[in-house]
Structure 1
Amino acid sequence: MTHHPLSLLSLALSLVLVQACSHTPRPHEAVWVEPAVGEISLHRGENAVLAGEWEYEEGGMVVPLKLDRFGNGSYDFKDGRFRTDVLSDHRWAGAWAQQENDREGGFEITLSPDFSEGDGRWWYTRIEEDHAPTKAGGRFHVVKVQSMAEHHPGPAEHVPQ
């Protein structure tokens, strides 16, 4: 039995299309991708800058962020997640997602010279089924929170009793 070259080409194209379509995310699926441990390529000295607790301040609301040494973590508001993609010089950028209200977006922060705070802006990349939202984002401020455990007074420092 001989096959016509055109029918073999049609069959091959059909298989490619079926395979391509099977890997396309469904509209209701979130596109958030959790980074693998160690995937973010930050310099060792910069890792410590992001690790710990930060306070996100916007319009009078303060939300604590808990970040690992790669700048990835979570926050309680709307079951939020926070991912760092870039930390270069004093520019910090990445993505956020909120499970509870089915939204995702990006952010960019300019950090202070000592990396203790910064001003940023955020935007939407997805709101529920809308993958090209036009709704405006906002501006915010972040501050690194230092716990008492991080500061132990030396013998020359006076500690009030």
Structure 2
Amino acid sequence: MKLKRLSFLSICVGALVLQACSHAPRPQEASWAEPVSGEISLHRAEHAVLAGEWEYEESGMVVPLRLDRFGNGSYDFKDGRFRTDVLTDHRWAGAWAQRENDREGGFEITLSPDYSEGEGRWWYTRIESDAAPTKAGGTFHVMKVQSIVENQPVPGARASQ
């Protein structure tokens, strides 16, 4: 059996081809990372203001948001998901994603002094396979409708008769 002698150059080229093939682009997958409880840069007492149901209003359309104690949750429009990354003072920021129309983006909200409502803006970070979309976002208003803690009995309180 005769072995074929490979040059250093052919070995390097072969290695590059293998490396390129192993890093070939895959079909577009949503880059949304589901939040892990406690992984957000908020102190527990601060997140409590986000927990509950909010109404998101944009151009006359109202969409309910259901958020957990970390400010993460979902909404029914386009199978939406909502993630809080930062709550500092009255600045609330994070990301959103819509599975049904394969879009993702960011948001930033300035909350009122009592954290019950706020004015925000949103933008796209991905539309389908376009990871640098130029399509404009928009502005919106949010209002807290119900807190999760409002559903819990207050310790020592008497039931109304």
TM-score range, shorter chain: 0.7 to 0.9
SS of structure 2 residue aligned to 1:50: coil
Instruction: Provide closer, same or farther for how the CA distance between residues 54 and 115 of structure 1 changes in structure 2, counting only shifts above 3 A.
Output: same
Q: Which residue of 2 aligns with 1:32?
A: 32
Which residue of structure 2 aligns with residue 65 of structure 1? 65
Unmatched tracts of structure 2, length 5 or more: none
TM-score by length of 1: 0.80
What is the Cα deviation at residue 20 of structure 1?
Answer: 2.3
State the shift of 1:12 in Å. Answer: 2.8
| Structure-2-length-normalised TM-score | 0.80
Shift of 1:25: 4.3
SS at match of 2:151: helix
Q: Which moved more, 1:66-75 or 1:12-21?
A: 12-21
| Aligned counterpart for 1:149 among listed residues 126, 151, 155 | 151
| Match among 11, 14, 23 for residue 11 of structure 1 | 14
For CA contacts below 8 A with separation 6 or more, give which structure has more relative contact order. 2
The letter of the residue matching 1:9 is C
1:61-140, aligned counterparts within 5 Å? 61-140=61-140
Question: In the comparison of the two structures, how many residue pairs are matched?
Answer: 153
Q: Unaligned 5+ residue runs, structure 1?
A: none
Q: Please give the secondary structure, in 1, of the residue aligned with 2:48.
A: helix
